Amino acid sequence: MERSTLDLWVGLFVCAGVGALLILALKVGNMSGLNVSDTYQVYANFDNIGGLKPRAPVKSAGVVVGRVAGISFDNEKFLAKVIMTLDKNYKFPRDTTASILTSGLLGEQYVGFVAGGDEKMLAQGDALKLTQSAVVLENLISQFLYSKAAEGDGKK
């Protein structure tokens, strides 16, 4: 009888461990926020989205107000089209600016909203006209090196 009780407790402990690992995996993969509230979709076109991925957060003033639903390439405009799903509890003016930002120096990328002053609010399927693309570290380094090289040529 003692052996079966011990086996039962070990089994429960193993099941609890597997459950904890599952919850941790969902948290790391941004899958834990199963959104059952009402949402609406908007989209924005960017010159460069850097390392932005689907399910990345959409934040305004540091608060997560939605998620990136999808990313595609617009063959007519030659721009990246980012579709975002926003919670209906959060309303933004039509002149809201969308920027691709990075958490920390080399952290994950997300879409940041800065609200404008328009009277009309964004609705289902609207496009954000004011966008700022991701800052690509390699481009910044190459611009810095090019400007330093140009300074060196001018001194001779």
pLDDT in tens, 62-87: 899 999 999 999 899 899 999 999 99
3-class DSSP state for residue 64?
strand
Residue 141 host element (H or E): helix 137-154
Which segments within the chain are labelled E, that is strand? 39-46, 57-60, 63-74, 79-87, 97-102, 109-114, 127-128, 130-132
**pLDDT tens digit string along 23-71?**
888 777 655 555 557 899 999 999 999 889 999 999 999 899 999 999 9
* Domain spans in the chain, listed from the N-terminal domain onward: 1-31, 39-141
- The answer to whether 80 and 48 are in contact (CB under 8 A) is yes
pTM > 0.75: no
